[in-house]
Amino acid sequence: MPTIVSVDDSTVPGEGSSRLLLLVSSDNKHIVVEEDIMSRSRFISKQVEGFEATSQRHAILLPFSSFVLNKVIEYCSHYRGYYLLEDDPDAAPPGRSPVREWDQEFLDVDRNMLLRIIKAAHYLEIKSLVGSCARAIADMIRGKTTEEMREILGVENDFTPEEEHSPSSKCTG
Amino acid sequence: MDSEGQHTLLTTPSELLFHVFTFLDVPSILALRQTCKSLSLLTHDKGVWLDQLRHQRNSLPLPSPARDDVSALALTPEELEKIVVSAHASQHAWHRPRQEVTHLGGLQADYRDIIYLTVLLDRLVLCVYSHGSVVLWNVASNSAKMRARVIHPQSYWELWGLEPWTSAVACLDNGNEAAYVAITRAQNRTQQGSATVLMRIPLDETASYEAPYLGSVNRDQTEDLTQPPPGSRNLNFNDVDTIFGPDAQVVRTIDPAQQIIAFSRTTHIDVTHWPTNTGITLDTQREDVDQLWNGIIALQFIGPYLLCIKARTLELYPISLPFSSRTSYFVSSSLGPPTPPEPQGDSHDDVPVPPRRPVALHSFPRTTFRGASISSSLPRSHCAASAAPDETATSPIVLTLLAHDVLRGVFQYRVNIVPASSTARPSSFPIPPTLHVDLIGVHNMALGVPGFVSAAAIGPQGRRGVWVERTKKVTTRRVVVFSTPACDDAPDDGDVEQPRPVTLPLQFVDAENDLSDEEEGREDGAWGLGKPINTHPVYEVKSYDLHEDLVQVAFSEVSGLIALGTRAGAVRVI
């Protein structure tokens, strides 16, 4: 029987708080979170709309671990009640997401974790978080040499020596 | 999708990788291309380069196909990448000292006194001399040996009168196949009146460069230039028009689309529609500034207006075709063209023109400008995101103005014009246009060692500028370049947006009024409010006598090529 975890003391239901959601991570952790915290996620919002249409609420299964999910919930809790342009489905999409200092600190994690967060944010359709992660990944490799980039990103050089010395042949991949 | 396995970029959806690329600069994308095959493939995607291009539009001058998305989308990914990479490279090359100097040759020995110098289509240097020659060089960067051709106006213009030509202006025709060149001088020595030759010079390179043009003279190499240039060609008479005007006209600007040309005479403006020989004259003198000299230094047609830059003010006059009256300034000359128009009426002095008030005016505090250079109107997207694309009639026009005061230095302004709107109200009560001028950069030469600015120019896209300066008691002439910083209100990488609560705090109602007071204050305030222009000296030349003095400067904003004209009449490209 999975344990029920409350995410954060500050999100314990209080006066005027919204309804609760049950999220289930891929490692089968059950996490209870207030609905309005997760409303930043288009994916969750659509699920909630479904609940309201059918008057049936159920757990939402997510394909990533509680470790990543908790990180995403931390992000959403931080911006609870805040308007971020990128997450506004009615606003015109901005060019590059703006720099937010808190996000930079929040995403000061290793590459593996960063990629897990961006994939989770993509799945949950949280555009502001996808943008901040993309910026953080770009910050890791900007201005680096090709060799440094391979190391940072964990990619193998799969060019043949001939391809490596003739840039044009790389076009075809 | 989960957790324990290594997450590499390659297991990340390409949609997310493209998102990462939007935060990278051009060198990083090119370096990333070398890492592995799958990333290489992604970096060839058109969207990656289109996105880079959109960022470059905020700060860099771009060749015309890249300036809007419609034409940029028509490019192949390879073409697009090439434009983006070369625009990126030009950003660094623009500020670097110029090592290579090319002296443009093919000139007759008596070519002196340059009255006009410009660079057309990023590769053609056009120079007009006071004796009436128009010289055109192709200085495409890929041809090591530059080629020149020399174009004389129709021979009888050389004969007609002994007065030197005093002013000239050139611009590209719509479609860029030809250039209009207008050259003005006094009609003749004894009688009043000005004469202007308007030529349309074809720029079709494939046809013209097969002809035997003169080679250029490389670095200090001299040639016998006394022979008439073999490449000179007579223009068809259809290519030439003549315009007669009152005394002391200075030709300022041409609008090929409307076929109108504008001249200034101290504080008067003459505008002529050349196909019909009709025109208007505006007396722009205003009593409140009479005590201070406020002559016209530049004119430019902007949509339905004529922008008039004076020494101390910037004014806007509506220009609406057709003009009702025929221009009637001609003083007969025995050496004139075959069928001059009959003199009609008296000279201008006898028929005073009522003073005309501008529809909008801006005063420059404390400066007396001697020269001004104006960019073309920039698309609104350059400067704000709040453009209303459906209201083309009243969408604001944004220009960059570079003006220099000989002693005080160089001043860069952004000029916003919101054209009059006649759509919202009945046409009898049109909303007047609004003019808003912001000082965006200053190069203050009144501080420190006194210096002088002899020539200055801003690019048509308003992104780059150049001027020639010298410091007092020093023989060195210095060519200085700068780049316009990206617009303040454009989204920029450096901007830090703090999230704002959904519930907005109460705003003071007076906030807007305070802002306008501040604007007024800025008018009176010192130029200290303008940011110093970030200058880069790129070239220096010693001028012990006045021969080497650099008196003309023109440049190609996209390619970064700078043309300099000396007092002795030589032209060099750096």
User: What is the reported pLDDT for B157?
Assistant: 38
- Residue in A63, A115, A142 nearest the CB of B24: A142
Give the CA distances from residue B336 to residues B188, B233, B237, B386, B448, in Å, rounded to whole numbers and listed in that order.
Answer: 9, 22, 15, 55, 53
Give A173's contacts in chain B (Cβ within 8 Å).
37-38, 40-41
User: What is the reported pLDDT for B353?
Assistant: 55
| Beta carbons within 10 angstroms of residue B388's beta carbon | 10
**B7–A115 C-beta distance less than 8 A:** yes
B306, pLDDT greater than 50: yes
A124 touches chain B (CB under 8 A): no
User: What is the reported pLDDT for A172?
Assistant: 37
Nearest CA among B243, B300, B292 for reference residue B269: B300
The answer for A 35-74 residues in CB contact with B (under 8 A) is 63-65, 67-68
Instruction: Please give the domain boundaries of chain A with CATH numbers for all domains.
Output: 4-156 (3.30.710.10)
Tens of pLDDT along chain A (173 residues)? 444 444 444 444 444 457 889 999 999 999 999 988 998 999 999 999 888 888 888 889 999 999 999 999 999 999 988 888 888 877 766 667 778 889 989 999 988 899 999 999 999 999 999 999 999 999 998 989 999 998 888 888 888 887 776 654 444 33
Nearest CA among B211, B222, B214 for reference residue B109: B222
Model pTM greater than 0.80?
Answer: no
B378, pLDDT greater than 50: yes
A109 touches chain B (CB under 8 A): no
Per-residue pLDDT of B202-225, as tens digits, reads 776 544 433 333 333 332 333 333
Instruction: Look at B288 and A26; give whichever has higher pLDDT.
Output: A26
User: What is the reported pLDDT for B466?
Assistant: 92
**A81–B37 C-beta distance less than 8 A:** no
User: What is the reported pLDDT for A7?
Assistant: 43
Distance (Å, whole) CA A132 – CA A128 = 6
Distance (Å, whole) CA B464 – CA B485 = 9
Nearest CA among B531, B529, B524, B489 for reference residue B396: B489
CA atoms within 13 A on the CB side of B293: 7
**A142–B495 C-beta distance less than 8 A:** no
Q: Which of A17-26, B330-339, B462-471, B565-574 has the lowest mean pLDDT?
A: B330-339
Report the SS3 class of residue B458.
Answer: strand
pLDDT tier at B265 (50, 70, 90 boundaries)?
A: confident
A17 touches chain B (CB under 8 A): no
Q: Which of A122, A137, A156 should one mutate to test binding to chain B, selecting the residue with the greatest count of B CBs within 10 A?
A: A137
Percent of chain B at pLDDT > 70 equals 67
- Residue in B1, B25, B496 nearest the CB of A119: B1
Give A94's contacts in chain B (Cβ within 8 Å).
491
Per-residue pLDDT of B102-145, as tens digits, reads 777 766 667 778 889 998 888 788 888 887 778 887 776 544 44
Question: Six-digit token pair at B436?
Answer: 């808003």
User: From edge to edge, which strands make up the β-sheet containing B194-202?
Assistant: B165-172, B178-186, B194-202, B240-245
CA atoms within 13 A on the CB side of B140: 7
Q: Which of A25, A68, A75, A118 should one mutate to test binding to chain B, selecting the residue with the greatest count of B CBs within 10 A?
A: A118
Per-residue pLDDT of B314-352, as tens digits, reads 888 888 878 777 655 544 433 334 344 444 444 444 445
Backbone angles phi, psi at B323, to 5 degrees: -80, 145
* Residue A131 neighbours by CB under 8 Å, 6+ apart: A86, A96, A97, B19
User: What is the reported pLDDT for B354?
Assistant: 59
* Residue B537 neighbours by CB under 8 Å, 6+ apart: B97, B478, B479, B480
Beta strand spans in chain A (E): 4-6, 20-24, 30-34, 60-61, 82-83
**B31–A155 C-beta distance less than 8 A:** no
* Cα end-to-end span (Å), chain A: 49
Percent of chain B at pLDDT > 90 equals 3
Q: State the amino acid at position B294 in one-letter form.
A: N
B169, pLDDT greater than 70: yes
Instruction: Look at A51 and B448; give whichever has higher pLDDT.
Output: A51
User: What is the reported pLDDT for B191?
Assistant: 66
Instruction: Look at B86 and B429; give whichever has higher pLDDT.
Output: B86
pLDDT tier at B235 (50, 70, 90 boundaries)?
A: very low
ipTM of the shown complex? 0.83
On whether the CB atoms of residues B541 and B565 are closer than 8 A, the answer is no
User: What is the reported pLDDT for B239?
Assistant: 60
Beta strand spans in B121-193 (E): 124-129, 134-138, 147-151, 165-172, 178-186
Task: For residue B14, give the chain A residue with the closest CA.
Answer: A119
User: What is the reported pLDDT for B387?
Assistant: 39
Nearest CA among A121, A159, A97 for reference residue B12: A121
User: What is the reported pLDDT for B397?
Assistant: 83
pLDDT tier at B155 (50, 70, 90 boundaries)?
A: very low
Instruction: Look at B501 and B217; give whichever has higher pLDDT.
Output: B501
**B24–A146 C-beta distance less than 8 A:** no
**B491–A144 C-beta distance less than 8 A:** no
B512, pLDDT greater than 50: no
Q: Which of B376-380, B437-441, B447-451 has the lowest mean pLDDT?
A: B376-380
Residues B153, B155, B158, CA angle at the centre, nearest 5°? 80
pLDDT tier at B520 (50, 70, 90 boundaries)?
A: very low
B15, pLDDT greater than 60: yes
pLDDT tier at B448 (50, 70, 90 boundaries)?
A: low
- Residue in A63, A153, A171 nearest the CB of B2: A63
How close is the nearest chain B Cα to the Cα of A131, in Å? 7
**B13–A146 C-beta distance less than 8 A:** no
On whether the CB atoms of residues B360 and B434 are closer than 8 A, the answer is yes
User: Which of A33-42, B276-285, B371-380, B491-500 has the largest mean confidence?
Assistant: A33-42
B3, pLDDT greater than 80: no
B279, pLDDT greater than 50: yes
CA atoms within 13 A on the CB side of B442: 17
B426, pLDDT greater than 70: no
Distance (Å, whole) CA B260 – CA A68 = 68
B388, pLDDT greater than 50: no
Instruction: Look at B227 and B192; give whichever has higher pLDDT.
Output: B192
Q: Which of B4-8, B22-26, B429-433, B520-524 has the lowest mean pLDDT?
A: B520-524
